[in-house]
């Protein structure tokens, strides 16, 4: 299996999340950033900073990437709910809007 590059996402507080390229591309915004000629590559690892996304929100965003990858193309009826804490919902919605996912 040819390993696609991983991507490093950095939250407002400087916490780092390394996710698979495929997973990050669930977000159209990130996909465009990575595919454009823009130079985001540092140490062969794409790094993207999100100064407006806090750490807990970014972690849930990353989880949702994997959730989507896992369930997007399944026909199965028993897809679990993606649970979100109510107090995070608004911030998460804004992040999702920005990330276009």
Partner 1 sequence: MSMYVRIKREKLTVFLHCDGTDTVAQIKGKLQELLQKPAEEQRLYKDGAALEEDKTLAELSVANDDELAVAYKLEGSNEFEPVNIDRFDSSAASHKEDSP
Report 28-67 residues binding partner 1 (CB under 8 A).
Answer: 45, 54-56, 59, 62-63, 65-66
Report the alpha-carbon distance of residue 71 to residue 56 in Å, rounded.
Answer: 22
> Smaller CB distance to partner 1: residue 33 or 68?
68
H helices of the chain, where? Answer: 21-24, 28-35, 55-71, 86-99
Selected binder of partner 1 within 48, 69, 84, 96 (CB under 8 A) = 69
Residue in this structure with the two tokens 């390993």, named with its chain if needed: 3
Q: How many residues does the chain have?
A: 101
CA nearest neighbour of 65 among 32, 14, 99, 15? 99
Closest approach, Cβ 7 to partner 1, in A, equals 10
Closest approach, Cβ 16 to partner 1, in A, equals 5
Residues near partner 1 (CB under 8 A) are 3, 6, 12-20, 23, 45, 54-56, 59, 62-63, 65-66, 69-70
């Amino acid at each position: 299996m040819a390993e696609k590059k991983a991507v490093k996402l950095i939250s407002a507080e400087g916490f780092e999340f390394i996710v698979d390229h495929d997973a990050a591309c669930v977000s159209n915004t990130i996909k465009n950033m990575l595919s454009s000629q823009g130079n985001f590559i540092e140490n062969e690892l794409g790094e993207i900073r999100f100064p407006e996304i806090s750490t807990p929100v970014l972690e849930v965003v990353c989880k949702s990437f994997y959730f989507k990858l896992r369930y997007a193309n399944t026909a199965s009826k028993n897809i679990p709910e993606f649970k979100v804490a109510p107090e995070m919902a608004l911030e998460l919605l804004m992040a999702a809007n920005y990330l276009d996912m």
